[in-house]
């Protein structure tokens, strides 16, 4: 099972590398000219072609790039000359820190809300929680970030407006700086967790075996903990792994608002400057992390729900 | 089995009275439809509604607080914020529809082919769909926009490309079921070509969940436009869009913090409208909910 799942992830990884590399093919005109600059001499452009292997057929270029990438060589930044892998190692932990923080917040806030909403379906409380989660899905998270900065940082001075401390330089300070970005990122997650949990719990509460448990005199709290949450844990896990993907995507804008030196910020800067190796490496790193999270999620399913193992 | 009288009663309902019944049954859906029509109305009639030109600069009135002449104040170039908000409606709504249109054009044919033809084609296409779905959406859209060139149309085509696997997966699943249906077999026996089968029989029966998904995607596309324009990859100056207005408001946040509220609220309300309408459509179109 374990091995099987790993083997399944490999073609997806390879396909992902191919798609990421193909991004370069979308660039209109000659990439060599784009890299060298509009006014570069013919010799310089030719030199760039040789250097990056752009004069070779596409598949050969891809093969070479993939071989290097497997060995951890994603090329160097066209602007700073820093190896792309070093950039990724430098900025990815910052992004992961904020994303994990946001996912934790989503679960910690979303789960009680979902339980509350499901305890009395169609009540006023349920309506209010579900209404709030509709807003949570619709709010643009970077705008929420701006509002948070304006209110909590610039007006009330509770939190720093922008900037970031790496978790390795001091955890408490890192949490301090990452709180507003994490709040901005987590509204969507809170809403998704609350909705999913509510609908699964309502379904379970109306099932035959829960009715039997009620009849046998088990308290609602015991039913929730021993039977309800245990049975929705798989659904919840699916939502959490999707949240990781979404929060990772949202960092692209939120990191810009809070000036966090993370992956999103790096990708946006690289895109605006035409720094293709950085774009390719950073996008690939994000995709690989999503694939890994999906893999871990699938493996955790089998622990939470032994029935899945047979599939 | 329905009785003949019931069938007749259903048939006699005109489209209009059906719509009236739906409005009564689903008030939330009716309200969101009304709000959406207002928003689209603003988008279409923007030049006539806006009190000022969205691009006219007045350097004597930069970053002004809301006043009788400029209800929402002026931005850093002295342009009327309300007028930019109204004109931004057209850009943002156009962007959302463009992105969803592109994802329909790409996603539907690919999903149909995969589901209907099956075999190796299906396996290949499904693998690509799975892979694309593990790309964080906005990240991919940013990268594709970067490669194709920045600008509203390019960025929304990118968003459309990024969304298309969602639609393809959905319609593939429907096509898989429908190709086994008797009426498809019957049409095939009458000598219908694969193209005819796809266009005349599979698509109309597979499209319902796609309509719902498209409405929900409109909300995501709107948020994506705002994000990309905020980053400077979407709408280019001097054109206004809600995301672009937020980018400017961000730069002058310490001087005029109130300027970020109107565009953000517009984005939120519009996204909320698309989502609510999508949920209502899901209920209205769901065959198992018919007659409720």
- Residue B289: C-alpha distances to residues A49, B151, B280 (Å): 61, 43, 11
Cβ distance B254 to A154 less than 8 Å, yes or no, reads yes
Structure tokens at B286: 């769901």
| pLDDT for position B99 | 95
Structure tokens at B3: 């009785």
Structure tokens at B190: 């009458």
| pLDDT for position B82 | 87
Read off the pLDDT band of A60 (50, 70, 90): confident
Residue B82, domain member (yes or no)? yes
Q: Which residues pair with A76 in a beta bridge?
A: A83
- Residue B170: C-alpha distances to residues A59, A264, B124, B160, B214 (Å): 31, 29, 16, 15, 11
Cβ distance A252 to B227 less than 8 Å, yes or no, reads yes
Rounded-to-integer distance, Cα B55 and Cα A258, Å: 29
Contact A164, A258 (CB under 8 A): yes
Return the sign of the alpha-carbon dihedral for residues B128, B130, B135, B138: positive
Closest CA to A249 of A231, A233, A267: A267
Residue B226, domain member (yes or no)? yes
For residue B243, the chain A residue with the least C-alpha distance is A143
Q: Does A287 touch chain B (CB under 8 A)?
A: yes
Rounded-to-integer distance, Cα B219 and Cα A136, Å: 13
Residue B58, domain member (yes or no)? no
Read off the pLDDT band of A112 (50, 70, 90): very high
Cβ distance B250 to A146 less than 8 Å, yes or no, reads yes
Domains delineated in chain A:
2-70 (no CATH), 93-304 (1.10.3720.10)
- Tell me which of B155 and A55 has the higher pLDDT: B155
Residue B223, domain member (yes or no)? yes
What are φ and ψ of residue B74, in 5° steps? -125, 155
Q: Does A113 touch chain B (CB under 8 A)?
A: no
Residue B138, domain member (yes or no)? yes
For residue B223, the chain A residue with the least C-alpha distance is A140
Residue A246: list chain B partners with CB under 8 A: 136-137
B35, B129, B133, B136: best mutation site toward chain A, by most A Cβ within 10 Å?
B136
Closest CA to A27 of B148, B54, B274: B148
Rounded-to-integer distance, Cα A122 and Cα A119, Å: 10
Q: Does A283 touch chain B (CB under 8 A)?
A: yes
Kindly tell me the burial class for residue B274, based on how many C-beta atoms sit within 10 Å of its own C-beta (0-12, 13-18, 19 or more).
buried
Residues 6+ apart with CB under 8 A from A290: A244, A245, A248, B134, B135, B136
The pTM score is: 0.86
Rounded-to-integer distance, Cα B110 and Cα A117, Å: 40
A vs B: CB pairs below 8 A: 143
Three-class secondary structure assignment of chain A: CHHHHHHHHHHHHHHHHHHHHHHHHHCCCCHHHHHHCCCCCHHHHHHHHHHHCCCCCHHHHHHHHHHHHHCCCCCECCCCCCEHHHHHHHHHHHHHHHHHHHHHHHHHHHHHHHHHHHHCCCCHHHHHHHHHHHHHHHCCHHHHHHHHHHHHHHHCCCCCCCCCCCHHHCHHHHHHHHHHHHHHHHHHHHHHHHHHHHHHHHHHHCCHHHHHHHHCCCCHHHHHHHHHHHHHHHHHHHHHHHHHHHHHHHHHHHHHHHCCCCHHHHHHHHHHHCCHHHHHHHHHHHHHHHHHHHHHHHHHHHHHCHHHHHC
Q: CB-CB: which of B139, B148, B257 is closest to A154?
A: B257
What is the value of ipTM here, to two decimals?
0.85
Q: CB-CB: which of B127, B143, B267 is closest to A283?
A: B143
Mean pLDDT within A86-107: 92
Q: Does A248 touch chain B (CB under 8 A)?
A: yes
The mean predicted confidence, pLDDT, of chain A is 84
Q: Which domain holds residue B109?
A: 25-48+68-289
The distance of B248 to chain A (nearest Cα, Å) reads 12
Residue B134, domain member (yes or no)? yes
Between helix B81-117 and helix B27-44 the angle, nearest 10°, is: 120
Count of structural domains within chain B: 1
Cβ distance B143 to A291 less than 8 Å, yes or no, reads no
| pLDDT for position A119 | 83
A311 has pLDDT over 60: no
pLDDT tens series, chain B, 292 aa = 445 555 555 555 677 887 888 788 888 888 989 999 999 998 898 888 877 777 777 777 777 777 777 777 777 777 888 888 898 899 999 999 999 999 999 999 999 989 888 889 898 899 889 888 888 888 889 988 888 888 899 999 999 999 999 999 999 988 888 888 888 888 888 888 888 888 888 888 888 888 889 999 999 999 999 999 999 898 888 888 898 889 888 888 887 788 889 899 999 999 999 999 988 888 887 766 544 3
A residues 10..49 contacting B (CB < 8 A): 11-12, 15-16, 19-20, 23-24, 26-28
Mean pLDDT within A257-272: 89
Contact A76, A83 (CB under 8 A): yes
| pLDDT for position A308 | 65
Residue B61, domain member (yes or no)? no
Residues 6+ apart with CB under 8 A from B122: B114, B115, B172
Residue B240, domain member (yes or no)? yes
**Out of A37-46, A136-145, B163-172, which region has the weakest mean confidence (pLDDT)?**
A37-46
Cβ distance A12 to B134 less than 8 Å, yes or no, reads yes
Rounded-to-integer distance, Cα A212 and Cα A216, Å: 6
Cβ distance A150 to B253 less than 8 Å, yes or no, reads yes
Cβ distance A23 to B276 less than 8 Å, yes or no, reads no
Q: What is the CATH number of the domain that holds B116?
A: 1.10.3720.10
Q: CB-CB: which of B146, B219, B268 is closest to A279?
A: B146
3-state SS class at B234: coil
Q: Does A78 touch chain B (CB under 8 A)?
A: no
Contact A75, A69 (CB under 8 A): no
Q: CB-CB: which of B139, B261, B263 is closest to A283?
A: B139
- Tell me which of A250 and A230 has the higher pLDDT: A250
A residues 137..176 contacting B (CB < 8 A): 137-140, 142-144, 146-147, 149-150, 154-155
Q: Does A7 touch chain B (CB under 8 A)?
A: no
């Amino acid at each position: 099972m374990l091995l099987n799942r790993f083997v399944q992830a490999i073609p997806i990884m390879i396909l992902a590398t191919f798609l990421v590399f193909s991004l370069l093919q979308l660039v209109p005109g000659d990439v060599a000219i784009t890299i060298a600059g509009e006014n570069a001499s013919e010799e310089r452009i030719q030199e760039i072609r040789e250097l990056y292997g752009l004069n070779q057929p596409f598949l050969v270029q891809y093969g070479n790039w993939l071989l290097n990438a497997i060995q951890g060589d994603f090329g160097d930044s066209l602007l700073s000359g820093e190896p792309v892998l070093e950039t990724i190692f430098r900025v990815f932990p910052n992004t992961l820190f904020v994303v994990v923080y946001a996912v934790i917040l989503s679960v910690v806030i979303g789960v009680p809300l979902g339980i509350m909403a499901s305890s009395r379906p169609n009540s006023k409380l349920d309506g209010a929680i579900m209404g709030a989660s509709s807003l949570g899905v619709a709010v643009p998270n970077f705008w929420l970030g701006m509002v948070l900065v304006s209110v909590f940082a610039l007006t009330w001075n509770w939190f720093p407006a922008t900037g970031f401390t790496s978790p390795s330089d001091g955890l408490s300070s890192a949490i301090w700086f990452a709180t507003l970005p994490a709040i901005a990122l987590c509204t969507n997650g809170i809403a998704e967790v609350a909705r999913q949990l509510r609908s699964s719990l309502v379904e379970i509460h109306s099932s035959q075996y829960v009715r039997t448990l009620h009849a046998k005199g088990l308290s609602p709290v015991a039913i929730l903990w021993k039977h309800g949450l245990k049975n929705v844990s798989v659904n919840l896990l699916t939502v959490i792994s999707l949240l990781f993907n979404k929060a990772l995507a949202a960092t692209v804008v939120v990191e810009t608002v809070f000036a966090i030196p993370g992956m999103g910020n790096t990708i946006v800067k690289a895109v605006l400057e035409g720094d293709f190796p950085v774009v390719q490496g950073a996008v690939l790193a994000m995709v690989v992390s999503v694939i890994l999270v999906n893999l871990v999620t699938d493996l955790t399913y089998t622990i939470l729900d032994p029935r899945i193992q047979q599939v | 089995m329905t009785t003949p009288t019931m069938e007749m009663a259903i048939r006699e309902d005109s489209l209009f009275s059906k719509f009236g019944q739906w409005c009564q049954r689903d008030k939330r859906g009716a309200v969101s439809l009304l709000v959406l029509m207002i928003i689209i109305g603003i988008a279409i009639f923007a030049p006539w509604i806006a009190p000022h030109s969205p691009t006219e600069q007045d350097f004597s009135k930069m970053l002004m607080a809301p006043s009788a002449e400029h209800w929402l104040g002026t931005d850093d170039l002295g342009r009327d914020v309300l007028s930019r908000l109204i004109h931004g409606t057209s850009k943002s709504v156009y962007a959302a529809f463009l992105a969803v249109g592109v994802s329909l054009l790409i996603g539907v044919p690919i999903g149909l082919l995969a589901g209907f033809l099956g075999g190796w084609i299906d396996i290949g296409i499904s693998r690509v769909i799975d892979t694309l779905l593990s790309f964080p959406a906005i990240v991919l859209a940013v990268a594709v926009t970067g490669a194709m060139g920045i600008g509203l149309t390019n960025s929304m085509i990118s968003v459309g490309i990024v969304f298309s696997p969602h639609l393809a997966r959905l319609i593939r699943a429907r096509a898989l079921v429908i190709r086994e249906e008797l009426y498809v077999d019957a049409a095939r026996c009458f000598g219908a070509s694969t193209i005819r089968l796809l266009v005349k029989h599979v698509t109309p029966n597979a499209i319902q969940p796609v309509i719902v998904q498209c409405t929900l995607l409109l909300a995501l596309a709107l948020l994506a436009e705002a994000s990309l324009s905020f980053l400077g990859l979407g709408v280019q100056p001097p054109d206004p869009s809600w995301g672009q207005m937020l980018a400017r408001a961000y730069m002058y946040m310490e001087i005029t913090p109130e300027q970020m509220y109107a565009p953000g609220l517009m984005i939120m309300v519009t996204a909320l409208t698309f989502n609510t309408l999508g949920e209502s459509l899901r209920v209205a179109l769901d065959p198992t909910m018919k007659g409720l």
